[in-house]
Amino acid sequence: MASFHKATFTALAAGLAIACMAFAPAHAQTAATNTLDKIKASGKVVLGVRETSPPMAYALGANDKYVGYHVELCERVLKEIVPAAKLEYMAVTAQNTLPLVQNGTLDIGCGPTTNNTARQQQVAFAVTTYVSEVRMAVRTDSDLKSISQLAGRTIAASTGTTAVQLLRKQERALGGAPIKTVLGKDHHESFLLLESGRADAFVLDDNLLAGMIANSKDPSAYRIVGEPLGAEPIALLFRKDDPTFKAAVDGVLTRLMQSGEMEKIYTKWFVAPIPPKNVGLNLPLGTTLRQLFAAPNDKPLETYQQ
């Protein structure tokens, strides 16, 4: 199993890495031009993971071991393309993932990141490995059942997620009382806003909502409701302008899809019971993702909205 070194990468280091971008962008881009050469030279590969995004990527246990669907995919990919490299895990957020990939701090982003055209100007994405529907979680005693009821309500969302833009779009479409959006710094903080009653709903990808509910103090106290605000392709990400690394990552992912192994990994995290509470999310593989496994692509969010 890959060795784990969290202490080296703290939140402070992440902040310093972002700050350093402004002072040494040219050096960072030059050093990170070829990811495989960079990994070979350093003997390690740095994975960006999330701490509170089950079942995609989350910390588990006293030692903060990182697990999840996208974490496992990253590990499977890297074990094949850089088998001798040491894997080091860095906790990141939706807000700082792209800057840390751009400046060379991260070699690959393993969190649940939406592939869209704006982000493609900053980073490159692998073939799509999940398609999420953005919906809302509410308390079971809530009267909220539809996105048409959001006007005048207080809705939680996580900083840096596409849910924020979708809520603004919905607010314009409703044309009535404004939607009061309150932002959590991460999904855990956003869920606390719902749990404490400070928000009427929490809007996020359905799989992440299911994971948060399954790992909450009382899973029966919450439900996912309403029509989707949008469907979003989710993928691993890495630096732009490195076709060799992208081809290597996509090659492994495509083989996992075509062999049927990807569906087994999916079932492990989305259907079967998952730690720490051994509760299953019961989100079986859908038609859209099954079709993507059969014909992989890296098309952005905008193609799903046409």
**pLDDT at position 231:** 86
**pLDDT at position 291:** 94
**pLDDT at position 78:** 98
Query: Shortest CA distance to 69 belongs to which of 12, 112, 19?
Result: 112
Q: What are phi and psi of 231, to 5 degrees?
A: -110, 135
**pLDDT at position 5:** 44
Structure tokens at 48: 């960006």
> Under a CB-based contact definition with an 8 Å cutoff, are residues 47 and 4 in contact?
no
**pLDDT at position 33:** 61
CA 210 to centroid of chain Cα atoms: 14
Length of the chain: 306
Triad 37, 254, 99: Cα angle to 5°: 50
**pLDDT at position 13:** 44
| Number of Cβ atoms within 10 Å of the Cβ of 48 | 29
Pairing of strands 123-125, 222-239: antiparallel
Residue-range domains of the chain with CATH: 11-131+233-304 (3.40.190.10), 133-231 (3.40.190.10)
**pLDDT at position 287:** 86
* Rounded CA separation 52/179 (Å): 25
Q: Is 114 exposed, middle or buried, given 0-12, 13-18 or 19+ CB atoms closer than 10 A?
A: buried
Structure tokens at 103: 């400046």
In order along its 306 residues, the chain shows pLDDT tens digits of: 444 344 344 443 444 444 444 434 433 444 446 999 999 999 999 999 999 899 999 999 877 799 999 999 999 999 999 999 999 999 999 999 999 999 999 999 999 999 999 999 999 999 999 998 889 999 999 999 999 999 999 999 999 888 888 899 888 888 878 999 999 999 999 999 999 999 999 999 898 999 999 889 999 999 999 998 888 899 999 999 999 999 999 999 999 999 999 999 999 999 999 999 898 888 889 888 999 999 999 999 998 876
Pairing of strands 108-114, 44-49: parallel
Considering only CA atoms, give the Rg of the chain. Answer: 19
**pLDDT at position 306:** 64
Alpha helices in 50-145 (DSSP H): 69-81, 97-102, 117-120
